[in-house]
Structure 1
Amino acid sequence: MNFQWNANYPSTRIPVFARNVATTSHPLASQAGLQMMRLGGNAVDAAIAMAAMLMVVEPVSNGLGSDMFAIIWDGQQLHGLNASGVSPESWNIDYFQGKYGSDAKGFANRPKRGWDSVTVPGAIAGWITLHEKFGKLPFETILGPAIEIAERGHAVAPIVAHKWAAAIPELQSGPGFKEFFMPYGRAPQVGEMFKAPQMAKTFRRLCKAGLRDFYEGEIAQAIADHSLNHGGSMTSQDLAKYQPDWVELISKNYRGYDVHEIPPNGQGIGALIALGIVGNFDMSEFPVDSTLSQHIQIEAMKLAFADVYAYVADPKSMRVKPSEMLDPDYLKSRAKLIDLKKAQSPIAGLPSTGGTVYLTSADESGMMVSFIQSNYMGFGSGVVVPEYGISLQNRGFGFSMDPKSENVVEGGKRPFHTIIPAFITKQVNGVTVPEMSFGVMGGDMQPQGHLQTVIRMLDYQQQPQAACDAPRWKVNRDFTLDIESSFNPTVANELSSMGHQIKSIDDPYMDFGSGQFIGRLSEDQDDGYIAASDSRRDGLVAGY
């Protein structure tokens, strides 16, 4: 990719160039990934080491009970992994209606937190699957940095501390939460030490007994017992049956580059739909931060969400195929719905914002990993198995209770998922060339972050750190618009006059996502990479 190297936005960060790169939302995690590559490991070893460390140092976003997805360039081709969990077999509409009653529409109520929001955690199984196919180093080495920091403790980073304190009022009564996440009777403050010896114990157990112990052994039994003792229905059988899936990626060509996403049950298709709609406009006619450039992207994202939340679910339940949703003629017809003079409000529902970590790594052999891991809404379910340090996601809240919905709750089914890693390739003389592994974390901000950063890089040639630093907008569930405080006030006023309902935002860490980017500097692999880390988190690009 060709970039303009002058950044137009205030930033304390500059792009990093190196032949081996690891970038995450926390410096200790990035360094753990770099350590694996220095020890002779590859980008997959680095990704798992970083994922484990992030569970320790950024528990506000992920934990041992997370889900994950990954896209891997192995040096020759791309591979997609879906390690999102499935619901307990006992779940169905009657289960929730019997326990929680019905709402005004007659649909069963669903809890946002607690054991009845937890699906089988997929992250550890995802690590196993990645390592079996690509890993080089033993897990004792890969998990070593996370074990050390969990035992010795670490000083809590500023943005992590901010999110931690914000979660306490809602989650402190969750089973096991206070015992594990409130060591001072409150959230740790910036710079205070947080130790997690229980997590170190779990990591050591996984190294000794094998990672399937999380699903079939001592750890699995502890999870099932905790569920039984706190009103849940997840069983040891639910855990034992779980396996991740290798999946065929979905993609969309945009300005000569192929943008790849994990297929449903994730929302990555939303980014591709929006790009396919925007592709029908000549964006070079509109300056990068102009009102019309932003308006077209916002309206495309609204149209994409209208389809995503109508049709996306576990692929076994979808009546509309992803290929139909990405059909060029269909997207051209959707683009015609955009009015360049006014905002519109397609009828669709959007999910809640969430807590997620995205990381990416690349090594000098050419392997690149795009990896995302999440507990969903901050700490997730608020449920912790304290003796093992396992905090559990609340992905079950992503199901619908509408019996007519493709995403209706059923046993052994994957819910609609928000987390989405991404990858860009290009065809050069008939050969697929890797260009960039990237992702933007943050609930329903994720496809919107993909759209905005890809357009900045491919339409306007902004280098990745500039694309990260640029002010963002976010379409909300009610189709109002959030904009960052650094957004151009003139453009904001003009968008408002076009009918966009703009709200103010005080918490950019939660609302506008955070990205990590690694791109190839040229077709010559020995030239290495350019990498960027979003300033909206505590992150770092580490390289050598």
Structure 2
Amino acid sequence: MRRRTFLASIPAAVLADTALAQEGTPGSQGAPAAGQGGAPQPREPLPTRWKVGEDRFVRPDVGPGDRPVGASFASRTAVYGLSGAAGSAHPLATQAGIDILRKGGSAADAAIAINACLGLLEPTSCGIGGDGYAMIWDPKARKVVGLAGSGRSPMALDLAMVRARAKNGALPALGALPVSVPGAVDAWWTMHRRYGRLPWAELFQPAIAYAENGAPVPDMVAYYIRRSLAAFRRPGNGIEETANALKVWGMADGKGPLAGQVFRNADLARTYRAIAAGGRDAFYQGDIARAIDRYFKRIGGWLRYEDLARHRSDWVEPSATDYRGVTVHALGENTQGLATLQMLNMLERFDLQDAGFQSPLSIHLQAEAKRLAYEDRARYYADPKFARVPVEWLISKDYARQRAKLIRTDRINTDVRPGQAPSRGDTTYYTVADKDGLMVSFIQSNFRGMGSGLVADGPDGRTLGFMFQDRGQLFSLKDGHPNVYAPGKRPFQTIIPGFATRGRDPWMSFGVMGGDMQPQGQTQIIVNRVDYGLEIQSAGDSPRWHHEGSSQSMGEDSAGLGPTGLLRLETGVPAATKAALADMGWRIGEPDGGFGRYQCVEHRMDGATRVYAAASEMRADGLALAY
């Protein structure tokens, strides 16, 4: 749709309202003055300074500064280097990764060092109590390989027991019930054995040093730690004990660190030293595993030494689809990665470039594709070792063609359901690339926030220093559902790394963190780059949409959002676009900070010379570096 045609399609009342809103903006050229066209309407006074203790300083009339190059909304420029690049959610973690690369380490080595640091520096999103997944560009094999580090449910916990303790037909978010085997450490070990160059123990030195000496806590991490601890202290939350979590993160007031306050975690440093010395076996078969076993027996939980001892990660073959000449890769297994491919296959049926960047039609088409893909996500995605997942059918172009016919360009579809398969059938993300062309796209998470609220006892009255994930909450309790709970089964996973190639060459190692936002965010990055030509930093800085209210794979629909759900739009989405989307039938929600966090390393060739470009998320405290 051309701009002139698009403007003509917006109701005149919407354009008039938008114009009036712009005229009434304080400081705008069109603002009516007293005595000229009537007295100005009274409005709330705008803040003149950022008050101490407040999380945000909001001035709706103030926009970003002017950059002389790049997109007008971009926060900064991508960083460039010839020898390596890294991007993560914490500057110190990114620096640790670059240091490992400079020492001769591989991208896999740097990825492990970054993740170990993030477990200390960003415990609100990740840690060794959670799972991890990777997609890796292997320059020798010239292909993308996948690594699934997903833990399984405890063998001592059966479906009847889970149902007896369920809340509103779903597993609770906190406590021992949703805890599954942590898969991250074995994923690191498995990746290192194939792609590592430096000694295993050396990769933990930066994280151990920060844990023992301390590091200042960034604003967002401090904010979310304090929110998590408040939830853990809330009466009736189902957590068997909270003393250990408060011992690790409570600080002096028991409420958590403040922004800029120095945080130390000697307990985690001791656990890291054991893993550095003993490898993955120290965690899954050694003293750490025995301490975990004793702890869950003490609190009445179900995770046992035997569950840890039998855990192994899996090398897997990623799925892929072509989107306008770019091959987008995704992990199937028990993740939601297929949703990204499904969305892109449907969107390929529409001319998004003609629809226009940040236009109502473009966002409408993307959100409708999401709703259709997520109904399939809720119906079919599960551990393939327990269920037959119709992967090839789900990501086929023929199926996408059928689904795309359900999308109307002028209004929202009020009856979205999963397709009929043939009868046969909070998170942290970081990315690293090295001088030899190895690129690692890694995502790791404890699931919701900091996780289950449970921190295991350690020796000498201390703790192990990390929190267990609550990933098991994503099991379904419905009979016959492929994702129904079973002992020794991997739950549906929201965490998905991203990777895109062009021809036989790598292009982007990227990811967007944040629960169900991840396929939505990955799709928006690909669309921004392929359809709208944005470079890697502005593709992430561009205002995002986030649709809530699709059916959930745990068998529980989002409550109170109605049949069409809620479409949240960031502040930067044009006012006319928001109004036109509402006129199409979308229920528009206010921004809530749930738009994901992005990192990316792009591979380029300048003649025969490899160049890396790296970008990081402006919505968080992260950093991208290259050298």
Q: TM-score, normalised by structure 1?
A: 0.93
Q: Is the 8 A contact 2:381 2:483 kept in 1?
A: yes
Tell me what 1:93 maps to: 159
Q: Where in structure 2 are the equivalents of 1:14-25 lying within 5 Å?
A: 14-19=77-82, 20-25=84-89
CA RMSD in angstroms, aligned pairs only = 1.6
Count of residues in correspondence between the two structures: 523
Alignment partner of 1:122 out of 159, 172, 183: 183
Give 1:9 deviation, angstroms: 4.1
Distance 1:7 1:380 in 2: 39
Task: Identify if the C-alpha distance between structure 1 residues 110 and 527 changes in structure 2 by more than 3 Å, giving closer, same or farther.
Answer: closer
Distance 1:487 1:308 in 2: 27
Tell me what 1:472 maps to: 544
Tell me what 2:127 maps to: 63
Distance 2:367 2:311 in 1: 38
Q: Where in structure 2 are the equivalents of 1:278-357 lying within 5 Å?
A: 278-347=347-416, 355-357=426-428
Give 1:523 deviation, angstroms: 6.8
Task: Identify if the C-alpha distance between structure 1 residues 291 and 97 changes in structure 2 by more than 3 Å, giving closer, same or farther.
Answer: closer
Larger radius of gyration: 2
Report the AA paired with residue 525 of structure 2. T
Higher mean C-alpha deviation, range 7-16 or range 56-65 = 7-16
Distance 2:167 2:275 in 1: 41
Give 1:306 deviation, angstroms: 0.9
Tell me what 1:441 maps to: 513
Tell me what 2:465 maps to: 389
2:385 alignment partner, SS class: helix
Give 1:6 deviation, angstroms: 5.0
Q: Is the 8 A contact 1:303 1:346 kept in 2?
A: no
Higher mean C-alpha deviation, range 481-490 or range 460-469 = 481-490
Report the AA paired with residue 466 of structure 1. S
Tell me what 2:91 maps to: 27
Distance 2:214 2:488 in 1: 37
Give 1:527 deviation, angstroms: 3.1
Task: Identify if the C-alpha distance between structure 1 residues 111 and 102 changes in structure 2 by more than 3 Å, giving closer, same or farther.
Answer: closer
Distance 2:120 2:400 in 1: 42
Tell me what 2:597 maps to: 514
Task: Identify if the C-alpha distance between structure 1 residues 124 and 525 changes in structure 2 by more than 3 Å, giving closer, same or farther.
Answer: farther
Task: Identify if the C-alpha distance between structure 1 residues 339 and 18 changes in structure 2 by more than 3 Å, giving closer, same or farther.
Answer: same
Distance 1:278 1:6 in 2: 30
Distance 1:345 1:239 in 2: 45
Q: Does 2:621 match 1:538?
A: yes
Q: Is the 8 A contact 1:474 1:482 kept in 2?
A: yes
Tell me what 1:270 maps to: 339
Q: Does 2:441 match 1:370?
A: yes
Distance 1:376 1:278 in 2: 29
Report the AA paired with residue 221 of structure 2. V
Give 1:345 deviation, angstroms: 3.9
Give 1:164 deviation, angstroms: 1.4
Q: TM-score, normalised by structure 2?
A: 0.81
Q: Does 2:106 match 1:42?
A: yes
Among all aligned residue pairs of Structure 1 and Structure 2, give the percentage whose two residues are the same amino acid. 38
Task: Identify if the C-alpha distance between structure 1 residues 339 and 309 changes in structure 2 by more than 3 Å, giving closer, same or farther.
Answer: same
Tell me what 1:218 maps to: 287
Q: Does 2:583 match 1:493?
A: no
Distance 1:52 1:190 in 2: 21
Report the AA paired with residue 249 of structure 1. P
Structure 1 unaligned regions, length at least 5: 350-354
Give 1:320 deviation, angstroms: 3.9
Report the AA paired with residue 519 of structure 2. P
Q: Is the 8 A contact 1:62 1:357 kept in 2?
A: yes
The CA deviation string for residues 65-119 of structure 1, in whole angstroms up to 9 with x for no partner, is: 0100001112122210000110011233211133x2674xxx5x52211111110
Task: Identify if the C-alpha distance between structure 1 residues 376 and 9 changes in structure 2 by more than 3 Å, giving closer, same or farther.
Answer: farther
Distance 1:487 1:241 in 2: 49
Higher mean C-alpha deviation, range 177-186 or range 146-155 = 177-186
Task: Identify if the C-alpha distance between structure 1 residues 203 and 345 changes in structure 2 by more than 3 Å, giving closer, same or farther.
Answer: farther
2:493 alignment partner, SS class: coil
Distance 1:254 1:223 in 2: 45
Report the AA paired with residue 160 of structure 2. D
Alignment partner of 1:420 out of 496, 499, 502: 496
1:7 alignment partner, SS class: coil
Report the AA paired with residue 337 of structure 1. L
Report the AA paired with residue 500 of structure 1. W
Tell me what 1:352 maps to: none
Distance 1:44 1:348 in 2: 41
Give 1:52 deviation, angstroms: 0.4
The CA deviation string for residues 332-385 of structure 1, in whole angstroms up to 9 with x for no partner, is: 010011010111245569xxxxx1100000012111000000011010111112
Distance 1:163 1:29 in 2: 18
1:242 alignment partner, SS class: coil
Q: Does 2:149 match 1:77?
A: no
Distance 1:378 1:270 in 2: 23
Q: Is the 8 A contact 1:64 1:389 kept in 2?
A: no
Report the AA paired with residue 369 of structure 1. V
Task: Identify if the C-alpha distance between structure 1 residues 6 and 265 changes in structure 2 by more than 3 Å, giving closer, same or farther.
Answer: farther
Q: Is the 8 A contact 2:450 2:467 kept in 1?
A: yes
Report the AA paired with residue 7 of structure 1. G
